[in-house]
Amino acid sequence: MSNSISGLSRPHPLDDRSDEPAAPSGAPFRREYTLPPAAERGHDAALVEFVRNTTSAPAVAAPSASESAPPGPINDRILYVGVNPDSATTEARALGKMRRDTEAVEATHGDVVSRGARAFDLATPGGRSSYVASLGLHGKVASDVTDVLAKTSSGERGTVARIAAAWSAAERGEGIASRLVLSGHSTGRYVGGGGARLTFANVQALAKAMPQAGRQIEDVHISGCFSNGNARDETPTWLAAFPNMKSMWAYDEFAPGAPVHHLAAWEAATRGRQDKVVPAPWLRAQSVACWSLSGGYVDRSVSPEALERSKRAADAAFSGLMAGSPRIVRSSDEPAVSHYRAYRSLANRAERADRHELAERADQLLALRNYESSVRGRFAETYASQIDAGYRAVGLAPPAFEALTRKDALAESRKLREAMSRTSPPPPAAQELDAILRGLDTFDRRIVKPGWSTHAE
């Protein structure tokens, strides 16, 4: 193997956006993983080491534009499902430069999908049946795929349907992409972004409904934060859906935004029929975790003692943060980020008896991190009528929750209860609002919806 693979490892050919229009003013910030020029030679050497450790097969060149994709189940094609719009274009473009036969599925948060000139409303039984028939599926497979779509939530039904379209050729005896990338914001059970979401359970259910497709998937890349539990503890669940899966790439903490160099390393390591993938130290230092058939599970191996220290620090700060001290303005503000990381990392470890409590605290800190940027505005909009009626019922002016800090919002919640205590019995409108405000106080997921945390998770 050549000791120079800078075409894969350097940022400029993958990150080049010379043919893309400039981002409009006010466009959302994208986190990009790039290297300064001075670090490229060391990065190349690390990537060479990674590829040498993971594959002894000769490099497989991407097919030229004139070549057709190889038929049959054995291939290195990639199906990319990007659910976060802030990174999907960059990642799909980079993968397309690595392999010209990469197929990208565009995520959607609606129920209407199109094939050719026809539109199908997947919220209706007739729409689902017609769509599945348009894929050329019949018999039990058609029935099972229709059932999966019926059970899938409205927010992701369209995305699941588009994956089914990409996999439908397998049920006709043809080959499909053997490598699968699922990318987006994550807390471990899904990838999401831009109002869309794709839960891993639904991907697995679809693979079981389309067994010829499921058997062809060999390598899965989950490009999402805190997704390592899938590779560490839940490989049996994934293998039940993809029985020939040889590797799964994930992240044990925050994943870089649009990590094109990680995708390049993964693409190189999973070419051919490799069943051992051991990420190099520089990748593990950037939160990469991986399971492979022969290599088992590997990550950066944080000690149990270090994890417990991080939990104690988070526990000591939790009450103050929930009370609004210190003020958290951005999703990246400390100390909320570090304590969120501690809770989420521990919650994703199957051996923890307290993992559900840890996950709840992680969810609360995620809402707090996004409170001023998105949560308070969505709360004020969603409960506008209850806020107005509840405060006026006890003689108070309704506050503008969309402009309140966390500490001020808690103070307004207390004002309502104090006014209610002076009225017997309290007005029904105030009682209804009191229940809603208690949900805001604790970031109860029934009141403060998880989808309101729209920034980096």
Predicted local distance difference test score (pLDDT) of residue 73 = 53
Distance CA 347, CA 355 (A): 4
- Single out the residue of 178, 298, 347, 182 nearest to residue 246, CA to CA: 178
How large a percentage of the chain has pLDDT more than 70? 83
Same domain, 365 and 376: no
Same domain, 192 and 310: no
pLDDT tens across 328-345, in order?
Answer: 999 999 999 999 999 999
Same domain, 212 and 174: yes
Same domain, 136 and 267: yes
Same domain, 187 and 200: yes
How large a percentage of the chain has pLDDT more than 90? 74
Same domain, 254 and 350: no
Same domain, 376 and 349: no
Beta-carbon contacts of 342 under 8 Å, excluding residues fewer than 6 positions away, are 307, 310, 311, 313, 314
The tokens describing 217, both together, are 């998937």
Q: Which of 37-41, 119-123, 276-280 is predicted least confidently?
A: 37-41
Which stretches of 293-413 are assigned E, i.e. beta strand?
296-298
Mean pLDDT of 246-274: 93
The tokens describing 37, both together, are 């020029």
Residue type, 123: A
Mean pLDDT of 428-443: 98
Spatial contact of 266 and 221, defined as CB atoms under 8 Å apart:
yes
Q: Residue 273: pLDDT band by 50, 70, 90 thresholds?
A: confident
Same domain, 280 and 402: no
Residue type, 86: D
| 64, part of any domain | no
Mean pLDDT of 146-160: 94
Q: Which residue has the higher pLDDT, 148 or 272?
A: 148
Instruction: Say whether 433 sits in a helix, a strand or coil.
Output: helix
Q: Is the pLDDT of residue 373 over 60?
A: yes
Q: Is the pLDDT of residue 194 over 90?
A: no
Q: What is the pTM of this model?
A: 0.78
Distance CA 134, CA 202 (A): 21
Q: Is the pLDDT of residue 60 over 70?
A: no
Spatial contact of 241 and 214, defined as CB atoms under 8 Å apart:
yes
* C-beta atoms surrounding 53 within 10 Å: 15
Place of tokens 């709360």: 379
Same domain, 340 and 294: no
The tokens describing 194, both together, are 């831009």
**157-167 and 200-209 helices, crossing angle to 10°:** 40
Distance CA 427, CA 429 (A): 6
Beta-carbon contacts of 128 under 8 Å, excluding residues fewer than 6 positions away, are 120, 122, 146, 149, 150
Q: State residue 292 phi and psi, 5-degree precision.
A: -140, 160
* C-beta atoms surrounding 182 within 10 Å: 25
Beta-carbon contacts of 35 under 8 Å, excluding residues fewer than 6 positions away, are 10, 11, 43, 261
Residue 433 is part of which domain span?
372-442
Last residue of a domain, one of 298, 319, 341: 298
Q: Which residue has the higher pLDDT, 163 or 17?
A: 163
Beta-carbon contacts of 292 under 8 Å, excluding residues fewer than 6 positions away, are 246, 247, 248, 274, 275, 276, 277, 278
Mean pLDDT of 310-337: 97
